[in-house]
Structure 1
């Protein structure tokens, strides 16, 4: 029963998208859903792969935006990104604690790792969307 709930939860989150999403993010979310739908796949591996791809996409987006900016804008972007990285690390720790609490203290199961990976990926995805929205004019 728990696995069915998790599948439904992850599917629901995966399809809650923003209109500002880039085609690359949409592509990654479709890949994730296909991976999760394939009963031969391990759902944990699907979410870890999604996180790795979305994290890589953040770096691609950042490096795509940076050269289009003036030197002072580049410094502002760097400063904002460093602040976001600190916020990200705090958020990831919070997700770990809250997820363990929801799973009655369990923090080594596949379900725990899958939920944390997916929540972390969504946080990174939202940063990509935010960067694209802010700097799309440039």
Structure 2
């Protein structure tokens, strides 16, 4: 129960620590919190769905931006995204390692998987916000 409360607090803090205008992200954040608040739901499933939706939104955002750019700008964006993907892969490995350490070596429990999925989703979420800030200045 303590882990559940701690995780819910972490989720709430992460929502309010970002200032962004993306209504899709806000909607997905709210959906996650509602899912986590419903005690009938599996928290691991909630966070895995959250990650999937963030990953999908990153793809939508990337394509939207790419379509507005000239060919040289598209190439630059592609190279930046490829570099980010390498950084993402390294970060995901670090999340797994750090989370296992926090859980005393446990790396197969639902708590472990839930924390990793949530941290990974936030990393992807940050990339969406970063891309929008740089390329979709409205």
TM-score range, shorter chain: over 0.9
Per-residue deviation at 1:110?
0.2
Q: What's the secondary structure of 2:129's corresponding residue?
A: helix
Q: What's the secondary structure of 2:104's corresponding residue?
A: coil
CA distance in 2, matches of 1:69, 1:10: 35
Per-residue deviation at 1:67?
1.0
CA distance in 2, matches of 1:3, 1:31: 17
CA distance in 1, matches of 2:96, 2:55: 18
Which residue of structure 2 aligns with residue 6 of structure 1? 7
- Cα displacement string for residues 86-107 of structure 1 (whole angstroms, at most 9, x for unaligned residues): 0000000000000000000000
- Cα displacement string for residues 52-84 of structure 1 (whole angstroms, at most 9, x for unaligned residues): 000000000000110100100000000000000
CA distance in 1, matches of 2:137, 2:7: 38
Aligned length, in residue pairs: 137
Which residue of structure 1 aligns with residue 81 of structure 2? 81
Q: Which runs of 5+ in 1 are unaligned?
A: none
Q: What's the secondary structure of 2:27's corresponding residue?
A: helix
Determine if the alignment matches structure 1 residue 23 to structure 2 residue 20: no
CA distance in 2, matches of 1:18, 1:12: 9
Q: Which runs of 5+ in 2 are unaligned?
A: none
Query: RMSD over aligned Cα, in angstroms?
Result: 1.3
Q: What's the secondary structure of 2:34's corresponding residue?
A: helix
Per-residue deviation at 1:11?
2.9
TM norm structure 1: 0.94
CA distance in 2, matches of 1:116, 1:21: 26
Which residue of structure 1 aligns with residue 117 of structure 2? 117
Which residue of structure 1 aligns with residue 94 of structure 2? 94
User: Counterparts in 2 of 1:35-74, with a 5 A limit?
Assistant: 35-74=35-74
Per-residue deviation at 1:136?
1.1
